[in-house]
Chain A
Amino acid sequence: MKTFVYIDHFKGEVQPASWEALGLAKSFGAAIALVFGKSVDAVAKAAVEYGADEVLVADDSSLEDYRAETYASTLAALASSLNPNLILFPTTARTRELAAMSAVDLNTGVLTDLIALEANGDSFVATRPIYEGKLMEKIVCAGKPVMATIRGRAFPKPERVSGKSGTVTKVTAAGEAKSTVEGYSASESAVNLGDAGIIVSGGRGVSNNPALTPPAGMDEKQAEVWRAQQGFALVTELAKLLGGAVGASRAAVDGGYIPYAHQVGQTGKVVAPDLYIACGISGAIQHLVGMRNAKVIVAINKDADAPIFKQARYGVVGDLFQIVPALTEALKKKLGK
């Protein structure tokens, strides 16, 4: 069994689920890591240290910035000449495109966002959530190679062995770019909820602190957003203490309290962290479908009838503006931070 593992990175920063994919590949047999980009020796070295049997590096100025077309052509050319049984990817914005396009070239299919993958003779059976996690399906791919993107945190991450050496082979880039990258704005929206082990989220309730007096001269809407931002500061402080990410409900995003990249739920991200703390979120079904697979859910809301409590492991009926900072303080003390 020969598996390609595409190591997804942004300017050398690797998406952690790439290593989880590498670990999964090893469980099936030989794992060959693919690293595309420009000056990516450090990524290739990390792939060896995480257990790749071989690393194929396409180091080319045409691959300096991720572009779907050139990356897909490079991947398809490698797969055509080396015939892997399986190609694994972490599930990210880039890999969905990359896998989709190279599957067209290779005349095969893609199994996306998997939470389980089992070898079945020469083939594979994959498990993935559909209908916003309301159902699970098992699917198979009749094409060769089987292409699969795995969900972050669904598979164990292999140990990294520092200083390990291995075979790194240079390969060539292929394909013609159809776009140019003009730049980046590493905005406040840089947030990766999919890989977060802990998420603290805020909803409409974060804007409702009557104790706050907005600065003079604000209209009603500006005052609401200003209040919400003070509320999100409390949410962020707790998230920071726990090393987690900040999430939000659609109401909070639509209200302009926080950029949409933070949104959990329908039209946002589906997440499954170990701990999810919902602050001032009532729990519309559109939000619940995005977070109900979290291991432990804590809900803090002033409305005892809020649907979020039906989904939660622990609930507090109370004022989030008092409870959240008190919880931050209590955890800080108990965790010795």
Chain B
Amino acid sequence: MKIIACIKQVPDSEAKVKAEDGKVSWGDAPLVINPFDEYAVEGALQQKEAHNGTVTALCVGPESAKEALKHALAMGADEAVLVSDAALNDLDTVGAAKVLAAAIQKIGGADMVFFGRQTLDNGAGLTPPQTARLLGYPMLGLAGSIKVEGSAVTVERVLEEGRQIMKATLPAVLSVVQSIGEPRYPSFMGIRKASKANIPVWSLADLGISAPAAVVTRSELITPPTNTREVEMIAGETPAEIAEKLADKIIAEKVL
């Protein structure tokens, strides 16, 4: 079972992100593996363990993104590949999908390609289905549980209305959601192995493609105004008195 987990590096959730000269700035906040992608790595490792497979972590990003790949290695991935090229600075989602699809083909394809549901930065969630479309693999999105029997894969997709049980033949692209299970912590041995890992870096020339032109581009970046209104604390002698006052306030807001 050949498994690829696609990951991205993003600023940590605690980062104070703001617009600076039309660019996104996160100060000196650390860059981390996209939290949704930790679930992708976890899902990939579960299948590796169940079916005696190998997991390759794949990332498109700057040299610094090796740290995110090292996190995946420390969790238990067998190999890691970084695609990095100065020409890749303005990728949109479909551009990222084109680069990932080319890298997956260079790896030699896979039985299962895992993604997180979306990224923390862009948050569009388009890249997984676009990669599936480009590869011609079935897309099993938002999988909360995964079962592989022979070449058949069955997933429970978590939708707004409940769960949809879907079956396809491998190879397939899967995006996973949180019910797949908490991502495991990197083990001590895993961290040691990851710190020594020599992660290959592929350029666009290595992939045999040119930089995809961005179809979607940003024209403006805005820092939204922060909440400056003071909180109004509601107090009283008894819960009933507090509730009475609070109910009046809520009704006066005309949001019911």
Complex contacts, B14 vs chain A, CB 8 Å = 285
B232 touches A130 (CB 8 A): no
Asked whether any CB of chain A lies closer than 8 Å to the CB of B51, the reply is no
Complex contacts, B217 vs chain A, CB 8 Å = 139-140, 142
Asked whether any CB of chain B lies closer than 8 Å to the CB of A267, the reply is yes
B138 touches A69 (CB 8 A): yes
Contacting B at CB under 8 A, from A265-285, are: 266-268, 270, 274-275, 285
Complex contacts, B133 vs chain A, CB 8 Å = 72, 100-101, 104-105
Smallest distance from the beta carbon of B123 to chain A beta carbons, Å?
6
Pick out which of these stretches binds chain B: A18-26, A159-167, A319-327.
A319-327
Q: How far is the CA of A314 from the CA of B229 in the complex (A)?
A: 10
Residue of A nearest to B178 (CB): A260
Q: How far is the CA of A295 from the CA of B94 in the complex (A)?
A: 34
Query: When A and B form their complex, what is the total count of cross-chain residue pairs whose Cβ atoms lie within 8 Å?
Result: 276
Asked whether any CB of chain A lies closer than 8 Å to the CB of B215, the reply is yes
Smallest distance from the beta carbon of B60 to chain A beta carbons, Å?
17
Chain A, 1-45, contact with B by CB distance < 8 Å: what is the 0/1 string? 000000000110101000000000000000000000000000000
A179 touches B13 (CB 8 A): no
Out of A109, A181, A317, name the residue touching B164 (CB < 8 Å): A181
Chain B, 94-133, contact with A by CB distance < 8 Å: what is the 0/1 string? 1001000000000000000000000011111111111011
Asked whether any CB of chain A lies closer than 8 Å to the CB of B160, the reply is yes
Asked whether any CB of chain A lies closer than 8 Å to the CB of B28, the reply is no
Asked whether any CB of chain B lies closer than 8 Å to the CB of A233, the reply is no
Chain A, 241-270, contact with B by CB distance < 8 Å: what is the 0/1 string? 010000000000110000111010011101
Residue of A nearest to B216 (CB): A109
Asked whether any CB of chain A lies closer than 8 Å to the CB of B74, the reply is no
Pick out which of these stretches binds chain B: A50-58, A182-190, A205-213, A215-223.
A182-190
Q: How far is the CA of A140 from the CA of B14 in the complex (A)?
A: 29
Q: What is the predominant secondary structure among interface residues of chain A facing chain B?
A: mixed
Asked whether any CB of chain B lies closer than 8 Å to the CB of A312, the reply is yes
Residue of A nearest to B182 (CB): A254
B139 touches A314 (CB 8 A): no
Given A93-B160, A110-B124, A326-B243, A135 and B221 contact (CB-CB distance below 8 Å): yes
Asked whether any CB of chain A lies closer than 8 Å to the CB of B86, the reply is no
**Chain B interfacial residues counted at CB < 8 A:** 86
Asked whether any CB of chain B lies closer than 8 Å to the CB of A201, the reply is no
Chain B, 233-256, contact with A by CB distance < 8 Å: what is the 0/1 string? 111000110111011111101011
Given A69-B139, A135-B224, A313 and B215 contact (CB-CB distance below 8 Å): no
Out of B36, B120, B222, name the residue touching A138 (CB < 8 Å): B222
Complex contacts, A141 vs chain B, CB 8 Å = 215-216
Chain B, 2-22, contact with A by CB distance < 8 Å: what is the 0/1 string? 000000000101101111000
Complex contacts, B157 vs chain A, CB 8 Å = 93
**Chain A interfacial residues counted at CB < 8 A:** 102
Smallest distance from the beta carbon of B139 to chain A beta carbons, Å?
5
Q: How far is the CA of A285 from the CA of B214 in the complex (A)?
A: 32
Complex contacts, B151 vs chain A, CB 8 Å = none
Complex contacts, B156 vs chain A, CB 8 Å = 185
Chain B, 191-202, contact with A by CB distance < 8 Å: what is the 0/1 string? 000000000000
Residue of A nearest to B98 (CB): A104
B234 touches A315 (CB 8 A): yes
Complex contacts, B232 vs chain A, CB 8 Å = 313-315
Residue of B nearest to A289 (CB): B13
A68 touches B246 (CB 8 A): no
Complex contacts, B94 vs chain A, CB 8 Å = 100, 103-104, 109
Q: How far is the CA of A257 from the CA of B144 in the complex (A)?
A: 17
Q: How far is the CA of A317 from the CA of B179 in the complex (A)?
A: 33
Complex contacts, A310 vs chain B, CB 8 Å = 227, 231
Residue of A nearest to B38 (CB): A267
Smallest distance from the beta carbon of A88 to chain B beta carbons, Å?
16
B13 touches A182 (CB 8 A): no
Q: How far is the CA of A139 from the CA of B122 in the complex (A)?
A: 12
Out of B123, B161, B240, B253, name the residue touching A190 (CB < 8 Å): B161
Asked whether any CB of chain A lies closer than 8 Å to the CB of B43, the reply is no
Given A97-B129, A110-B124, A267-B178, A181 and B233 contact (CB-CB distance below 8 Å): no
Smallest distance from the beta carbon of B105 to chain A beta carbons, Å?
16
Pick out which of these stretches binds chain A: B61-69, B76-84, B165-173, B203-211.
B165-173
15 sample A-B contacts, Cβ–Cβ < 8 Å, listed by A number: A93-B141, A99-B126, A104-B130, A109-B94, A136-B223, A178-B139, A179-B166, A184-B161, A198-B256, A242-B256, A311-B227, A316-B234, A323-B242, A329-B243, A334-B248
What are the 9 tightest A-B residue pairs by CB atom distance, in nearest-first order? Answer: A326-B243, A178-B138, A109-B215, A109-B216, A322-B239, A179-B168, A330-B247, A274-B255, A138-B220
Given known contacts A138-B221, A314-B249, what 17 new A-B pairs fall within 8 Å (CB)?
Answer: A15-B160, A93-B157, A96-B141, A97-B129, A100-B129, A109-B215, A135-B221, A139-B216, A179-B166, A192-B160, A197-B255, A275-B256, A285-B14, A309-B231, A312-B231, A327-B247, A330-B243
Which chain A residues have a beta carbon within 8 Å of chain B's beta carbons?
10-11, 13, 15, 65-69, 72, 92-94, 96-97, 99-101, 103-105, 107-113, 125, 129-143, 178-187, 189-192, 194, 197-198, 242, 253-254, 259-261, 263, 266-268, 270, 274-275, 285-286, 289, 292, 295-296, 298-299, 309-319, 322-323, 326-327, 329-331, 334-335
